Structure 1
């Protein structure tokens, strides 16, 4: 199928996540900016590459859980300090709040991380595309490793049996 000039220029303006185009530098935010980011705020443009890294690295799900716990820290602290009840009830209320909050947080994990990437200025679907590309690359490496191991086993078998 031939690509028209207009389609070609459109493709060049929106590089794919797996293209070799130079990526934004990964500049980690300062602790106070990370706290703002964890609470749902945006980061400066210089941290744009880090936001993409944060939401697509192999530990993106654990980073999301940590951000969720940071978001829940303030209400949980208020419950523990201000609830006019015994410590057992305070702990139960805090534990229930954390459990319910984590259920919702994990249920909407992909959408929440995608929203962070969009807030950083990337098109919708960028984080998912990066994670998918990383998964496919890992699967390809594993497939090649398994094929090489199978070839070594077959060679050992041929050497042992003389076939």
Structure 2
């Protein structure tokens, strides 16, 4: 049975911190534990910062002064936000999963198990003892 994905409006609502209906619970788990989960956290961060960044860039740069200074300030601000988001990504993703009824730390446990299985497959293929 395929995982039910939210439509674009619900997806955007979810990116801004909204809670999806219960029928998307499995999709939220997949979103939080797939191989690209860190990239997804980064995209979520950038989507949340984009409107404020655009308003500040237009307000500070285009309408009120020097746009290179506004662009530099905006870039530094985005870099700070990205660093904060990435350093707290594990905890924030696990907390998001708790809102959907998963036990605390479930996302981290699923990712650890997936990584251990991948490491085992790698060892089985590439770390065989040399033939004698």
The TM-score normalised by the length of structure 1 is 0.74
**1:7-156 matches, cutoff 5 A:** 26-83=3-60, 84-148=64-128, 150-151=129-130, 154=131
Does 66-75 or 116-125 show the bigger shift? 116-125
Instruction: Quote the offset at 1:146 in angstroms.
Output: 2.3
Gaps (5+ residues) in structure 2?
none
In 1, the alpha carbon distance for the partners of 2:77 and 2:114 equals 34
**Structure 1 gaps, min length 5:** 1-23, 159-163
Name segments (4+ residues, structure 1) moved above 3 Å. Answer: none
- Aligned positions, number: 129
Compute the TM-score of the two structures, normalised by the length of structure 2. Answer: 0.90
Query: RMSD value over aligned CA atoms?
Result: 1.6
Contact 1:52–1:117 under 8 Å retained in 2: yes
